[in-house]
Structure 1
Amino acid sequence: MSDHQNISHRAGTVSPPEHSPSVSPPNIVVIQADQMAAQALGAYGDTAAKTPHMDALAEEGAVFDRAYCNSPLCAPSRASMMTGVMPSELGCFDNGDDFASSVPTFAHRLRLAGYHTALVGRMHFIGADQHHGFEERLTTDVYPADLDMVPDWTLPLEQKLQWYHDADPVFTAGVSQASVQQDFDDEVGFRTLRHLNDRVRANQAAAAAGEEAQPFLMVSSFIHPHDPYEPPQEHWDRFADVEIPDPAHPEVPDIAEDPHSHRLRAMSGFDERYPDLEQVRNARRAYYAAVSYIDDHVGRIRERLDSLGLSENTVILVTADHGDMLGEKGLWYKMSPYERSSRVPLIAYGPEHLVPRGRHQTPVSLLDLMPTLVDLAGAPSPKAAGDSVLRIARGEQAGEIGPEDRPVIIEYLAEGTYRPQLSIISGQYKYVICPGDPDQLFDLATDPDELHNAARKEKHAATVARLRGELDARYDMAALEAGILESQDRRRLVAEALNMGRKRSFDHNPEPEQRYVRGDFWAALDYGTIRDGAR
């Protein structure tokens, strides 16, 4: 793993929070949704959204208006988020790439700092290590953990692999009385609330023994609103009289300007059949309903923190691994560098001495989450490419840092392309390169919908040269491409071998829980009771 810093700010030192020895380290709750675009939340300006709980956190906390994933694909995005290392440096190129257990994650770092660490729900770890530093993992994942989803950049587009995204979820979107995703997320919600109870039980036991309560990190990770778009009836009905806007720009970009979007459409079959306007509206309604379903879970988690007396010393962070195009530019799902796919919500809520209130415009990314959690925990600052978003917010408020000072990088190294695609966001500009494709430059201040490629305009020549220079300084594109192709070959061999003869899955199966009464009946009853005023 390289120590090369892919992302940095250049405005000098930003001030850390004021810590007092008498203040206990805060509990931290990270709530993550899958494929939840920032633009689909009321907190980010969507007037059709029904997200009152996330909006309330935003109103009372910190909102990062320009937060991005570092890869618009589940597994590499999450691995990067947990480590603070870019996917290409981790070797986590795609959804069939194993995540090395020797790389420190924020769970390792907080566990070392004395935190109890638990993962509830989805994280899309590929490979044998299904904990990556979490002391407890309370559910299995919703997707398999094996090396089966390995792209092949040598295959023609028409030769599709079985696991590619397909157009069907857009055509079949609608109410589901029950589904795998609902069952999974309902379990995540239930176990999240029970785990909060368990942390209070542990605090009570510590107090009875004259010991300090142990702070905790809990990551609750849901699969909604990821396709298939199949929300419960209750949430679908909330939008019966809501005018959800149609895609603002459903037309497909010119293939000469944007071949990547055409590859994504061909990979998923949208080039051969495309939903009509009513089907598009139906799918978007289902997506908005699924986001509302996530919002209900956020509300229940916050209510449980309040009722257990944990809110005063708990920081809540809400985010997602990537967005969803939802029909913009004729695209669905993710895998694109466009804003709808690559921007994510990032909302922080907690005690004011820890979380600066307000909206913050400096670009940040999921790469910054690990340093943020370490910062909150008061643990030693890691050598990392990112920085704490809370320090960035305070620096922005103090005038020490601004949008021009923090470039953010997005990598896409998976299916739907034949060469590495890199994007850099710097100030108001987004610049995209992929060998064989035309460069793209978007001025997000004057062209927020990314309709006009300005890369060849003379007035932007200096900007293109500057951003290209930054990417060239960070990446050896030929070496990166060769490494990806070699990795694909190697992993296909391993996956094929592991499917021969006796098969063993990497999937996580939670250990039997010591719940209810085990052994000492009276002690178990006493431990299980949460008394008023306990924290």
Structure 2
Amino acid sequence: MRRTESGRRPNIVLIQADQLAPHHVGAYGAEAARTPHIDELARGAAVFDRAYCSTPLCAPSRASMLTGRLPSDLGCYDNGDDFAATEPTFAHLLRSAGYHTALVGRMHFIGPDQHHGFEQRLTTDVYPADLDMVPDWDHPLDRPLQWYHDVAPVLDAGASVATVQQDFDDEVVFSALRHLNDRARADQAAGERQPFLLVASFIHPHDPYEPPPEHWERLADADIPPPAHPEVPDAEADPHSHRLRQMCGLDRRPPSPDDVHQARRAYYAAVSYVDDMVGRIRARLEALGLADDTVVILTSDHGDMLGEKGLWFKMSPYEQSSRVPMIVHDPWGLVPQGRFANPVSLLDVLPTLLELGDVDPPPTAQGLSLLESARREQAGTPPTDRDVVVEYLAEGTHHPQVTVVRGPLKLVVCPGDPDQLFDLDSDPDELHDRVSDPELAEAAQSMRAQVESRYDLAALGESVRASQRRRTLVAEALSTGRRRPWDLVPEAEQRYVRGDFWGALGYGRVRSDARHGGASG
């Protein structure tokens, strides 16, 4: 049941970090992590231990999450690809069903539509909304494009008093807290409650690894673990990892052990910084009397390799890059509590939010509600009841890469590269490719057949290349002469005293006993 007997629907706060791998969060077993607020959130929540992104890259991963569709189906392949305004998102669907919907912070929308169904968007993005990051699969990887990931953030990691990313996330949390005030004000003025969706999205712990000094010092006594397996995989068996290393310059300027330690400490500190933001949002929900009516979800768009297998950042099908945290805290009891091992996906966010809001998903949605996944697991449905797909169609490859996760098995397919098959139960660090193992031959064949039945990889590759050529032409044209960027410029709000002196002051007041009044009634 998605509503209470009175027909009320929960508020939803979705908190998204950028490049946050669950491997570095206390709730997922990271002993060095300083994440008390996330850990507390997880204690009374559904925690999904094997949640995957749809693609380990920011813009297409987020577009996929918002629509419940894979990037290849959206035609949104990379960080320089526009996200069509005609694609229904969970913001459109919840808004149509009576929710107030707001986005605060990062979402990496490319194109002129910077709202995608959200009634309000309260901050601009930290990255440009234009076609500035279009890959070129025919461009040599040893001659990187200007915006490619580079090894420099690893070599230069450390505390910084002020950075672009700190400024952005400080603005995000401020705007998120003020927006929660505004939702309480609106309910108070109307005398009734309107359910809301708030997406608060942060850029940390995304590189550059430059946390505030306060958070850097929190890790001063922490035993930051080194990469468990920093050795680079064999080039013949795993050419994709070597392409990524070449593209990022890791092969030419390999980080020293001290560089690696500094960067990992900085990353852990940035995770602690995000944890503070989670704590501040939950505290404001409590202060406003909204916590008992609000489902809080924490996730990320992808992870970070952090030196494992000689790789950094994302773009890899390995677990540190492709897995994300997924924690659903529900005070109404709509979501089963506990730890869940079934593989799930960011595709599942849309049907989850729609089930919470009592809204039917569109026929195009490909995910499964996390509520349903948890119910199935509690009923004894084995983890092999569905395949989770991770695509990669951006820089660092020359052909589409498709990864299929089926229970404990993971198959990686990319034309021109050898297939890889890992058994994550016996080999969680993905060190032993078992694609030629006779014991797993039948499973490998079945999973390969699943890829071939769903994809024409040659045709998809041509579609990606054609898209790159079109967008490059358009980007070059739009950069000539007078430029009109698509970046969002937030609207000025009338929130202080203008005109009705006492009315403005009265509307803005939310008493500390709001939980007993109209704001949360």
Residue from 122, 127, 142 that aligns with 2:106: 122
Whether 1:336 aligns to 2:316 is yes
Which of 398, 410, 427 pairs up with 2:379? 398
1:387 is the counterpart of 2:381: no
Partner of residue 173, structure 1:
157
In the alignment, which residue of structure 2 is the partner of 1:234?
214
1:9 paired residue number: none
> Shift of residue 75 of structure 1?
0.3
Change (3 A) 1:18 1:155: closer
After TM superposition, the structure 1 = structure 2 runs for residues 3-82 of structure 1, keeping only pairs within 5 Å, are 17=1, 19-82=3-66
Which of 400, 412, 424 is the matching residue for 2:392? Answer: 412
TM-aligned CA deviation for residue 395 of structure 1:
1.8
What is the letter of the counterpart of residue 119 of structure 2?
E
- Deviation of residue 437 (structure 1)? 0.4
How many positions carry a matched residue from both structures?
514
What is the CA distance between 1:347 and its match in structure 2? 0.2
- The one of 134, 139, 143 equivalent to 1:159 is 143
CA distance in 2, matches of 1:460, 1:295: 41
Q: Secondary structure at the match of 1:117?
A: strand
SS in 1 for 2:421: strand
1:252 is aligned to 2:232: yes
Question: 335-344 or 519-528, which moves further after superposition?
Answer: 519-528
Contact 2:173 2:277 in 1 (8 A): yes
Q: Who is 1:495 aligned against?
A: 475
Identity %: 65
- Residue of structure 2 aligned with 1:371, choices 325, 331, 351: 351
* Residue pair 2:97, 2:359 contacting (<8 A) in 1 also: yes
Q: Superposed, which structure 2 residues align to 1:430-445 within 5 Å?
A: 430-445=410-425
Deviations 1:320-370 (A, max 9, x none): 000000000000000000000000000010124212110011110000000
1:176-187 equivalences under 5 Å are 176-187=160-171
The reply to whether residue 147 of structure 1 matches residue 131 of structure 2 is: yes
Check conservation: 1:18, 1:353, Cα contact below 8 A: no
Question: Please, what TM-score do these two structures have when normalized by structure 1?
Answer: 0.95
Separation of aligned partners in 1, 2:443 and 2:139: 35
1:106 paired to 2:90: yes
In structure 2, give the amino acid aligned to 1:36: L
Tell me whether 1:484 sits opposite 2:464 in the alignment. yes
Q: Please list the CA deviations of residues 86-141 of structure 1 after superposition, one character each: whole Å capped at 9, or x if unmatched.
A: 00000000000000000000000000010000000000000000000000000000
Measure the CA separation in 2 of the matches of 1:307 and 1:382: 36
Q: CA deviation at 1:19?
A: 3.8
Paired residue type of 2:47 = V
CA offset digits 1:185-210 (Å, max 9, x no partner): 00001111000000000000110xxx
**C-alpha contact 1:48 1:244 (8 A) present in aligned 2:** yes
1:95 to 51, 76, 79: 79
| In 2, Cα distance between equivalents of 1:278 and 1:160 | 26
Structure 1 runs of 4+ aligned residues shifted over 4 Å read none
Tell me if 1:530 matches 2:510: yes
Contact 2:2 2:356 in 1 (8 A): no
Q: 1:461 aligns to what?
A: 441
Are the aligned partners of 2:104 and 2:121 in contact in 1 as well (CA < 8 Å)?
yes
Is it true that 1:199 corresponds to 2:179 in the alignment? no
- How far, CA to CA, are the matches of 2:507 and 2:177 in structure 1? 17
> Post-superposition shift, 1:21?
3.9
Deviations 1:362-412 (A, max 9, x none): 11000000010000001123322111101210121122x331112100000
Corresponding residue for residue 14 of structure 1: none
| Mean CA deviation greater in 489-498 or 156-165 | 156-165
**Gaps in structure 1 of 5+ consecutive residues:** 1-16
> Are the counterparts in 1 of residues 292 and 332 from structure 2 also a CA contact under 8 Å?
no
Which of 117, 141, 152 matches 1:133? 117
CA distance in 2, matches of 1:225, 1:308: 28
CA distance in 2, matches of 1:494, 1:95: 15
Distance 2:205 2:4 in 1: 40
Check 1:303–1:20 CA distance in 2 against 1; reply closer, same or farther (3 A cut): closer
Quote the residue 1:356 is aligned against: 336
- Separation in structure 1 between the aligned mates of residue 497 and residue 301 of structure 2, nearest angstrom: 38
Cα distance in 1 between the residues matched to 2:176 and 2:138: 43
1:273-293 C-alpha deviation (Å, 9 max, x unpaired) = 111111100000000000000
Tell me, yes or no, if structure 1 residue 289 matches structure 2 residue 289: no
Q: In the alignment, residue 198 of structure 2 is paired with which amino acid? A: M
CA contact (8 A) 1:70 1:367 kept: yes
* Equivalent in the alignment of 2:405: 425
What amino acid is the match of 2:509?
A: T
Letter paired with 1:388? S
Q: Which amino acid aligns with 2:52?
A: Y
Which among 267, 270, 288 is matched to residue 308 of structure 1? 288
1:18 is displaced (CA, Å) by: 5.8
Letter in 2 for 1:291: V
Q: Distance in 2 between matches of 1:111 and 1:360?
A: 30
TM-score (norm 2): 0.98
Paired residues of 2:165 and 2:204 also in contact (CA < 8 A): yes
Q: Considering only aligned residues, what root-mean-square deviation do their CA atoms show, in Å?
A: 0.9
Q: Could you tell me which residue of structure 2 aligns to residue 298 of structure 1?
A: 278
Cα separation, 2, equivalents of 1:30 and 1:206 = 25
CA deviation digits over 1:406-450, x for unaligned, max 9? 210000000000000000000110000100000000000000000
Q: Contact 1:62/1:348 (CA < 8 Å) preserved in 2?
A: yes
Deviation at 1:521, TM superposition (A): 1.0
Shift of 1:456: 1.4
Amino acid at match of 2:195: P
Letter paired with 1:240: A
Aligned residues of 1:176 and 1:231 also touching (Cα < 8 A)? yes
CA distance, structure 2, for counterparts of residue 330 and residue 303 of structure 1: 39
Q: 1:308 to 1:20 in 2, by over 3 A?
A: closer
Q: Is the 8 A contact 2:2 2:9 kept in 1?
A: no
* Kept in 2: contact 1:361–1:402 (CA 8 A): no
Matches of 1:333 and 1:262 in 2, distance apart? Answer: 14
